[in-house]
Amino acid sequence: MIHGKRVLVVLPAYNAEKTLERTNSEIPRDVVDDVILVDDASRDGTVELSRRLGLPTLVHARNLGYGGNQKTCYTAALIRDADIVVMIHPDYQYEPRLIPALASLIALDVYDVVLGSRIIGKGARLGGMPRYKYLANRFLTLVQNLLLREKLTEYHTGCRAFSRRILETLPLAADSDDFVFDNQMLAQALFFGFRVGEVSCPTRYLPDSSSINFWRSVRYGAGVLWTSLEYRLARAGVMRPRIFDAAGPRLATELMQRRVL
């Protein structure tokens, strides 16, 4: 716990067998109350390893996508009475030892969402981020800051912390089950007036780190730009997309029952 707040870490996993143990070993158990792994129908030994490590492990019967995985993660976190939820990829690309820093900013009521930014400082390139990914990240972030009228350094990190209120309030069930889920969730948080902060997060691009191929990256980029345009149009009152509808669908326990064995 941090300042009386129950901290839970969720690990959305897909074929993470080679990196899971390293990620898990660096999660600071002195402040983290619980860790849950959600496996999205991996083809390797992720589930078996997770259970050997003693992690509560939820398994999708079929692959639902990165966004679908996170929906299960957050539903499970709410059911387990989390006050603060930290999502970190189990591919050891992000720094698990930052979890107390992210969670503390929420526990102290400074922010509602805290992002581990790879762009603050020189962490991204020093950590091995490919140049084309770095340039794409900077371009998309620039466009998003212009359309959303914000000043974030990165919208695309896989290291994030959320207050319980965020997970209960945002219409997350309306979001995509694909990679653009992350971006939609962040845009929703900004749209509905939640406070978003950032901390510097070192990164590691190792051979075993997960990565999406070029065409999936292009599809993700297009989804990011569309989400930002929807945000701007919703702000102007021109349209009200489902993801920015305050009455949109929330996460529910039924979602867990449908998705997990």
Per-residue model confidence as pLDDT tens digits over 133-147: 889 899 999 999 999
Element containing residue 136 per DSSP (H, E)? helix 131-148
The answer, yes or no, to whether residue 230 has pLDDT greater than 60, is yes
Average pLDDT over residues 8-32: 97
By 3-state DSSP, what share of the chain in percent is helix, strand and coil, each rounded to 5? Answer: 45, 15, 40
In angstroms, what CA-CA distances link 25 with 50, 100, 160? 12, 15, 19
At residue 208, the pLDDT reads 62
Percent of the chain exceeding pLDDT 70 equals 92
At residue 252, the pLDDT reads 75
Question: Does residue 103 contact residue 86 with C-beta atoms inside 8 Å?
Answer: yes
Which pLDDT tens digit goes with each residue over 79-116? 999 999 999 999 999 999 999 999 999 999 999 999 99
Burial class for 53, CB neighbours closer than 10 Å (0-12, 13-18, 19+)? middle
Q: Indicate the domain borders of the chain.
A: 7-247
At residue 129, the pLDDT reads 79
- pLDDT category at 255 given cuts 50, 70, 90 is low
At residue 256, the pLDDT reads 54
| Residue 4, C-beta contacts closer than 8 angstroms, at least 6 positions apart | 107
Scanning the structure block, which residue is given the tokens 């340039």?
A: 135
The answer, yes or no, to whether residue 261 has pLDDT greater than 50, is no
Question: Does residue 43 contact residue 17 with C-beta atoms inside 8 Å?
Answer: no
The answer, yes or no, to whether residue 212 has pLDDT greater than 70, is no
The answer, yes or no, to whether residue 258 has pLDDT greater than 60, is no
Measure the CA–CA gap between 35 and 82, rounded to whole angstroms. Answer: 11
Q: Which CATH class is domain 7-247?
A: alpha beta
- pLDDT category at 121 given cuts 50, 70, 90 is confident
Identify residue 194 by its one-letter amino acid code.
Answer: F
Which pLDDT tens digit goes with each residue over 132-187? 888 989 999 999 999 999 999 999 999 999 999 999 999 999 999 999 999 999 99
Measure the CA–CA gap between 94 and 102, rounded to whole angstroms. Answer: 13
Percent of the chain exceeding pLDDT 90 equals 81
Measure the CA–CA gap between 226 and 220, rounded to whole angstroms. Answer: 10
Which pLDDT tens digit goes with each residue over 180-207? 999 999 999 999 999 999 999 988 876 6
In angstroms, what CA-CA distances link 19 with 28, 37, 167? 17, 13, 27
